[in-house]
A and B are shown apart, each in its own frame.
Chain A
Amino acid sequence: MEMDRTVVAEERPTIIDTVTGAIRENYLNANYGLKSWFLTVDHKRIAILYLISITLFFFLGGSFAVMIRLELITPQGDLVQAETYNKLFTMHGIVMVFFFLIPSIPAVLGNFLVPIMIGARDMAFPRLNLASWYIYVVGGLFTLGAMIAGGIDTGWTFYTPYSTSFSNTYVIATGLGIFVVGFSSILTGLNFIVTIHKMRAPGLTWFRLPLFIWSNYATSIIMVLGTPVIAVTILLVALERGLHIGIFDPALGGDPILFQHLFWFYSHPAVYIMILPAMGVISELVACFSRRRVFGYKFVAFASLGIAVIGFLVWGHHMFVSGQSSYAGMIFSFLSFIVAIPSAIKVFNWTATMYKGSISYDTPMLYVMGFIGLFTIGGLTGLFLACLGVDIHVHDTYFIVAHFHYIMVGGTIMAYLGGIHFWWPKITGRMYPEGWGKFSALLIFVGFNLTFFPQFLLGYLGMPRRYYAYPQEFQVLNVMSSAGASVLGVGYLLPLVYFLWSLRYGRIAGSNPWKATGLEWQTSSPPPTENFLATPVVTEEPYQYSPEETEAEYAMTKKENVNV
């Protein structure tokens, strides 16, 4: 991946703002004012809009989690009413899944990086891209409005007939918010697919693409094919709830299991919407900080597609105790074991990438190592749930809660934060404070394990999920979990503070502070609005790192420092 860097440095026309006298040279200072942000069609600015909105939702969802963990410190219900508690875990799930995790990496890092990584000027449909953010905001406001009006208590899973005929909360309003936000997801996916197909730079063949592109491509397929199903399902819930058309409620002639099939047909692949982009981030990071080409590039790339395809065939493993046929259960169990294999392939390849590398322990690499460890535990505990004999016991207990938090928090959020740290200098032009970065990465890792590991034990002991009050004997493990959550909370607040701090006080990053390969590092930081001044031409495979060269350079700088 070569590109004449002097082009960027010398031929860049300097535009002086006639009013302020400031130099307009990148996408952030190209123009000013609210209008320039809210009507922007620049994928990088849209990424920033997403970054701000999903961060708000993350801390909103996090505050619900704080209340949940506080309530669960004691066995009896005391802090909040049972009704409030039920709304808290429901809204925690809805906010985190639909308004944070699903858009997180694709909408922020994907939006920012996909065009730059493939050497394009923007997405294939820039206006559609902006529209998808507006749709996200409308959906978000809808759901927020429903929460402020009184909330919803069905669990994020909306199981019927509770959601359609029994709950007295704002099911339809909240559902509509999710229905709307689904379109944002579909449009983003569609945009990625077309952009990746049609707008790659000359010479950038499929097997020269960074793995982040492969994983976002696989994610987009799921978004486009899966999301319409959840949209239809929510609509059916609204029809039954509002007009009493019998679809899911047996009292009206419906079938409650049908809802579960439809819901999980989307919501299981949705787990892969959350984890696949995270895997893409990890591939980029592990290569850069090990100074090695990702081991088994093609296997890692095809593993993403494998997960996307097989992921559509495993939804029934959420229904082993639902009353579905035991033979169906057997087939879903088998396929669920098969979908574990591509994930295993990735973990082994990432680990092998570190072999004979030149490894530095910068913050993003700490997140990588944290991710691989936690994702491994999350993935292996998934085998317990794919296994029919064990799932019967642990289904709907805290074992499941622990498992999916290892995947979604230990996996997706670790990768998201690792990615934000890694590309922060590219996005803002400034470095975050490295010491604080390492400290908070460590805090998050420790806090995370303390929060969620005890939940595996609670689950096997039999503590069901969504319990407002619980038997006395579960208290000690619950207290541990709540204590861990407080550490985790601090770990999440720290980056918020130092990232904001770095916007003004961070060290100027320069175009490539990590000496990384990839087209995004060959343009200035922050990049100009048009990303590249001349279309880059790609002549090599990705990840052309050399550990030996890195070592030689490192030895040289060390020597110079000693001489000084």
Chain B
Amino acid sequence: MWDFPLFPEQASTVAGRVDSLYFFLVTITIVFSLLIAFAIAFFAIKYRRGNNVDRSNPLSESKTMEAVWIGVPLVIVMIIFFWGTNVYFTIVRAPKQAEDVYATGKQWMWKFQHIGGQREINELHVPVGKPIRVIMTSEDVIHSLYFPSFRVKQDVLPGRYTQLWFEPNKPGTYHIFCAEYCGLQHSGMIGRVVVMDPVSYQRWLSTGKGGGGSTTGDAGTGSGESMASAGEKIFQQQGCASCHMADDATRAPQLKGLFGTQVALKNGETITADEQYIRESILRSGAKIVEGYEPVMPVYQGRISEEDLMQLLVYVKSLAAPAKNQSGGTQSATVPGTATGEQARGTAQHADVPAANAKSGSK
């Protein structure tokens, strides 16, 4: 009964930094609360009615004292502000080498898909020591993906992508919660994140086994092919290839090498071709017309599911060279020695697939 936690586990690289800041704030809170409580108790006792003490010439205003109790709190809150903002920008800015996982929230479940195509529901397997970026959207209402042990949370919105990242640093199984009220089974929209050592993670990725007593997390559920390759199929089925992969680029902008570059628009603006731009251009092609093209592309809003759209997105991203994830694998210096090889191979494998597909795609 009395064996219950009073403090959450620290399982990500940023958790310790958030907690240090938290303890600083706790200290400030305790110090000032005690200061006020002590002052009130002290005055209440010393100056209680009938107690014979000196009450002559009581001060009822003092610019000096006001300056002190405006100035001191101001300095303290500014320290908290700068410190907190510093931690915040670490939390919101994913490192470049982060490995992507795609997530879709819907009433009332979390669906995750790894780049390699492995799908999971209400469960997410990740390797220790590697930054993971989760790109998310919702199929219905607003949800919020929350990993308390990683100290990160981000609302998941319908109609657009949001993202969060974390780098787990302690193997184990931790909570996943939905933090934004989303209707009837809001409190049932929970799951677990399984942080594995890189070797087990690779085994899990390829076999779906060893997922820490996993029941639902059978990796590779569904297609068994990578997201980019699945995306390429959709690209063919929906007829995208006939214009976007044609030999001449007169009818539609070419997608090779597009992702992450600057795109000049017809209205004179320049925009970065990021996830949100790709998403919008597929769903509402007329929203942002590329310089030199006519708005002839059909609207795909309502004709393509969020998950298919994510696969298309990964495919379009894979057309950009060089493959991002490959560099990620070699850069993760934090991965323990023996694991590095596994890691690099694992990601290289993903990165290779789209490259191969891209070749076959441009017929």
Contacts and interface: CB of A to CB of B under 8 A. Distances in A.
B185 interface: yes
A461 interface: yes
A460 interface: yes
B183 A162 contact: yes
B28 to A, nearest CB: 7
Contacts of A396: 144, 146, 153, 179-180
Interface in B6-46: 6-8, 17-18, 21-22, 25, 28-29, 32-33, 36-37, 39-40, 43-44
Given A354-B43, A358-B47, A476 B4 contact: yes
A504 interface: no
B178 A384 contact: no
Interface string B41-76: 001100111100011101111100110011001100
A347 B36 contact: yes
A341 B259 CA distance: 46
B40 A373 contact: yes
A344 B157 contact: no
Contact of B183 (A153, A322, A389, A470): A153
A377 interface: yes
Nearest to B163: A323
Among B25, B49, B55, the one with the most A-chain Cβ atoms within 10 Å of its Cβ is B49
A103 interface: no
B60 A292 contact: yes
Nearest to B80: A387
A321 B175 contact: no
Interface stretch (B88-96, B125-133, B216-224, B345-353): B88-96
Contacts of A369: 40, 44
A258 to B, nearest CB: 12
Given A383-B28, A547-B47, A469 B142 contact: no
A337 B89 CA distance: 18
Interface size class, chain A: 35 or more
A308 interface: no
Contact of B36 (A256, A373, A462, A551): A373
A490 interface: no
A299 B60 CA distance: 12
A467 interface: yes
A461 B148 contact: yes
Contacts of B60: 292-297
B176 to A, nearest CB: 10
Contacts, number: 279
A26 interface: no
B267 interface: no
B264 interface: no
Contacts of B184: 82-83, 86, 153
- Quick one: which of B36, B144, B162 has the most chain A CB within 10 A? B36
A352 interface: yes
B186 interface: yes
Interface string A541-564: 000000110110011001000000
Interface string A370-407: 00110011001101101111111101110000000000
B55 A389 contact: no
A323 B155 contact: yes
Contact of B153 (A321, A326, A333, A389): A321
Interface string B149-189: 10111110111101000000000000101111111111110
A484 interface: no
Contacts of B33: 373, 376-377, 380
B69 A161 contact: no
A392 B152 contact: yes
A392 B37 contact: no
Contacts of A86: 181, 183-184, 186
Contacts of A323: 154-155, 157, 160, 162
Interface of B: 1-2, 4-8, 17-18, 21-22, 25, 28-29, 32-33, 36-37, 39-40, 43-44, 47-50, 54-56, 58-62, 65-66, 69-70, 73-74, 77-78, 80-81, 83-89, 91-92, 107, 140-142, 144, 146, 148-149, 151-155, 157-160, 162, 175, 177-188, 190
Shortest beta-carbon contacts, A-B, top 9: A462-B148, A250-B159, A389-B87, A388-B88, A387-B84, A354-B43, A467-B187, A356-B58, A337-B77
Interface of A: 77, 82-83, 86, 153, 155, 157, 159-162, 165-167, 249-251, 255-257, 290, 292-299, 321-323, 326, 329-330, 333-334, 337-338, 340-341, 344-345, 347-349, 351-352, 354-361, 369, 372-373, 376-377, 380-381, 383-384, 386-393, 395-397, 457, 460-462, 464-471, 473-477, 547-548, 550-551, 554-555, 558
Given A345-B66, A461-B148, 11 more contacts: A82-B185, A296-B62, A299-B66, A356-B54, A376-B37, A380-B32, A388-B85, A392-B88, A392-B151, A473-B4, A476-B4
